[in-house]
Structure 1
Amino acid sequence: MNTLTRGLQAHGVMAHYLDYSSSYLGYGSDYFWRLASELGSPDIYDRLRRFTLALIPKYDLFHFHFAQSITFDQTDYPLLQQAGKSVVMQHWGSDVRLYSVAKKSNPYVLVKQNEQIVRRRLSRVSGHVQHCIVADKELLQYVKEYYPQVSVVPVMIDLTHYTVEEEWKPNERLLIVHAPSHPGIKGTNFVLKAIEALKEQYNFDFKLVQGMSHEQAKEIYKQADLIIDQLHIGSYGLLAVESMALGKPVICWISDYMTEQYPAELPLIRANPDTIQSVLENLLQERDCLPEIGIRGRAYVEQHHDMVKNSRRILEIYQRLQSI
């Protein structure tokens, strides 16, 4: 959200980012309201509605994320509609992933939320919002029956913040990094089990990245020779994109279905809970292939995940909605 805002600003748009949660990642925001401590207040929803009314004259379009809105209780949607404002919802993964749908094409999938709750949420939100954005066709599966219009725009990063070391070569002792935001969903137990088994035969270092700011974590990614993303979801996310932007080879489970949907040049190394140990062992034995995979990863991100290009695509969606 922070990156999208800066991308829109680069195109001359007045865009601001409102955040209610204080994340340890430390991305920063234009407006911040530490709302968690106030949700028990008896007048909080009245205050949020007044806040919405104060924002309405200042903006033409409201872009929400994770099935949320300004007021949390969705009472702001009618206010925005009455004021003639365009509204976009962007879904990111766990807020829409449906197990009954996902398991048809991905036997390793895990979900974080009860399917009935997710479906009720989608029905409620899509009753007010006409246009939805998702990052790939894995997420498209879950939302397409709910929204009249769905656009696929890949996640974006500011490439000027990610530099690639020239003529990078792996360390003598490979440094393997795993950075799970949600260990269960990311398959961390399988990663740790594979690492422990391989340490009996191979000399390498392993680092688990958790609870750090984004900038602190990025410094570790820069040192890594190989980064492990996730082993269950079947599609790749922001960690894989950032790692590829740094020229690092990435292990990630991509389902057969999504392998067909992504561009053919996607350079991720596929592994799931059943194959992670053998995939890691092959890479420990064939370490010379890692720099070339990293080079292809950087080129892929430049083509498909650039902040300037992808924020332009979202701006074009805004412009179409405004013309309607």
Structure 2
Amino acid sequence: MLKRVARLVFLVGYKIAAPFFLIIAFPWALYIRWTTKADVKTPRLVWGATPIINNSYWSLAMRAAGYESETFTTQYYAAINARDNWDRLLDEEYPHLPYPFRICIAFLASLKRYDVFFIPFHGYFLGNTPLWRFEYYLFKLARKKVVVLSYGADFFVYRRIRSIPLIHGLLMSYPGAAKRQGIIAKHVDYWATHADAVIPGWLGTDGLGRWDALTPSALCLDLNQWTPSARKSQADGNGDTVYIAHAPNHRGFKGTEFIVDTIQRLKNEGLKVELVLLEKKQNYEVREILKEKVDILIEQVINTGHGLNGLEGLASGLPTISNLEDEDYTVYMRRWSFFSECPLVSACPENLADVLRKLIMRPELRHQLGTAGYQYIEKYHGYDSAQYLFSNIIDYVYGRKESLINMYHPLLGEYKKEQPKIIHPLVNNKIVD
């Protein structure tokens, strides 16, 4: 009840203050337009305002490429991220001002400070306020560019999703979003229409109807921090124990209950296996566990696709399991991008036990997949890959490049075509005997 009252006060305050903000904001944006070049050769980049760790990695990658790039977010998730992952935080910049004033000042200051805004479908700092519809027009008037990168909660409109199992998993983990479908859909449609570029990856194609570049994932990792596991365990579940990791955040979405049940059933069969839950751990702890203590990672078995944790498993040289069963979500990725080279192992709740038995009892297969996994990350998900993607996006939004749609096309694209393809033993991400 208190949250609803606070939210109501928040919205009423914004509606009262909105005319005063706009009286200042539009002349300010016009002034910035007059003092900004139309074609910026090396634009200043910002990633925000939602504190998703991907923003930090992307910003660091582009900074390493010579861009002035930083994150500017509302806060950060202290349970899993460290403060030094982030550059600017709203609370630290304007700590003595009421929250609505902080948001407005942060937005106006950002118009002056940055040239390209990388945001989710929520929008930037005005995204969760009644002023959200004005963001694009202020960006446009100030001659700024907007690139939308979806991450999940900003994009999922449940009634537009083709996969019924995915909807159910989302309802298990995030039932409240089902009541906000209308406003989420409005934000998605707004930015799909107005953004200078939309880069959805796995998460952002259901019901969107627009993507400017097709990539299985725009995510990247700092490969200086990720090295493949040297365990090379020969455990086969009969003599020695095989350790299997899983991060149980978003439990319904990931199918955690099916993973726990499957491990127990395998134990009941007599196999020596142990489940290691990566829960409420800092990123450095996850890296250490994946490198030193486990043999297999299960990312998730409900949603078709993969996220950052799946890439972390591959970067650790581990055989990594994700659900890639639904061909509506996989065929087009294999056809028009580099995803056919990906050595993720596909499994769903119904076949997870069989897939795990094959990995548990065949240590050499695990090692083969682990080697291919690190090679895949090295080729497609290091900082250099992010720099290639975002440098091309920047050229595109400034009109220096005509299209991005075939950037990763296996026939028409040029990206890393000179390098050998990743060879792995899977067929359409499935283990074959």
TM-score, normalised to structure 1, is 0.88
State the Cα distance separating 1:107 from its structure 2 match.
4.8
1:1-324 equivalences in 2 (<5 Å): 1-23=55-77, 24-27=79-82, 28-34=85-91, 43-72=98-127, 73=129, 74=132, 75-103=134-162, 107=165, 110-111=169-170, 112=174, 113-114=177-178, 115-136=181-202, 139-145=204-210, 150-153=212-215, 154=217, 155-166=219-230, 168-171=232-235, 172-200=240-268, 201-222=270-291, 223-254=293-324, 255-260=326-331, 261-262=333-334, 263-323=339-399
Q: Distance in 1 between matches of 2:86 and 2:205?
A: 28
- Are residues 128 and 50 of structure 1, via their aligned partners in 2, closer, same or farther at CA, if it must alter by over 3 Å? farther
State the Cα distance separating 1:175 from its structure 2 match.
0.8
**Which deviates further from its counterpart, 278-287 or 82-91?**
278-287
State the Cα distance separating 1:281 from its structure 2 match.
2.4
State the Cα distance separating 1:83 from its structure 2 match.
0.9
Q: Distance in 2 between matches of 1:124 and 1:165?
A: 44
Aligned residues: 315
The question of whether the paired residues in 1 share the 8 Å contact of 2:121 and 2:191 is answered with: no
State the Cα distance separating 1:66 from its structure 2 match.
4.8
Q: Which runs of 4+ in 1 moved over 6 A?
A: none
Q: Distance in 1 between matches of 2:279 and 2:115?
A: 38
State the Cα distance separating 1:185 from its structure 2 match.
0.4
Which blocks of at least 5 consecutive residues in structure 1 are unaligned?
Answer: none
Q: Distance in 1 between matches of 2:113 and 2:76?
A: 25
The CA RMSD over aligned residues, in Å, is: 2.5
The question of whether the paired residues in 2 share the 8 Å contact of 1:67 and 1:89 is answered with: no
Q: Distance in 1 between matches of 2:91 and 2:257?
A: 33
* CA-to-aligned-CA distance 1:249-288 (integer Å, 9 cap, x gap): 0111012233322322221111111111222223223333
Q: Structure 2: which amino acid aligns with 1:97?
A: F
- Are residues 95 and 54 of structure 1, via their aligned partners in 2, closer, same or farther at CA, if it must alter by over 3 Å? closer
Q: Distance in 2 between matches of 1:240 and 1:206?
A: 17
The share of aligned pairs that are identical, in percent, is 22
The question of whether the paired residues in 1 share the 8 Å contact of 2:322 and 2:345 is answered with: yes
State the Cα distance separating 1:84 from its structure 2 match.
1.1
Q: Distance in 1 between matches of 2:391 and 2:104?
A: 27
Q: Distance in 2 between matches of 1:93 and 1:321?
A: 24
Q: Distance in 2 between matches of 1:193 and 1:304?
A: 34
Q: Distance in 2 between matches of 1:49 and 1:129?
A: 21
State the Cα distance separating 1:99 from its structure 2 match.
4.0
The question of whether the paired residues in 2 share the 8 Å contact of 1:122 and 1:143 is answered with: yes
State the Cα distance separating 1:57 from its structure 2 match.
1.9
- Are residues 284 and 51 of structure 1, via their aligned partners in 2, closer, same or farther at CA, if it must alter by over 3 Å? closer
- Are residues 314 and 152 of structure 1, via their aligned partners in 2, closer, same or farther at CA, if it must alter by over 3 Å? farther
Q: Distance in 1 between matches of 2:362 and 2:114?
A: 54
State the Cα distance separating 1:103 from its structure 2 match.
3.1
Which structure: larger Rg?
2
Q: Distance in 2 between matches of 1:135 and 1:213?
A: 25
State the Cα distance separating 1:303 from its structure 2 match.
2.0
State the Cα distance separating 1:90 from its structure 2 match.
0.9
- Are residues 21 and 43 of structure 1, via their aligned partners in 2, closer, same or farther at CA, if it must alter by over 3 Å? closer
The question of whether the paired residues in 1 share the 8 Å contact of 2:118 and 2:148 is answered with: yes
Q: Distance in 2 between matches of 1:59 and 1:122?
A: 23
SS at match of 2:207: helix
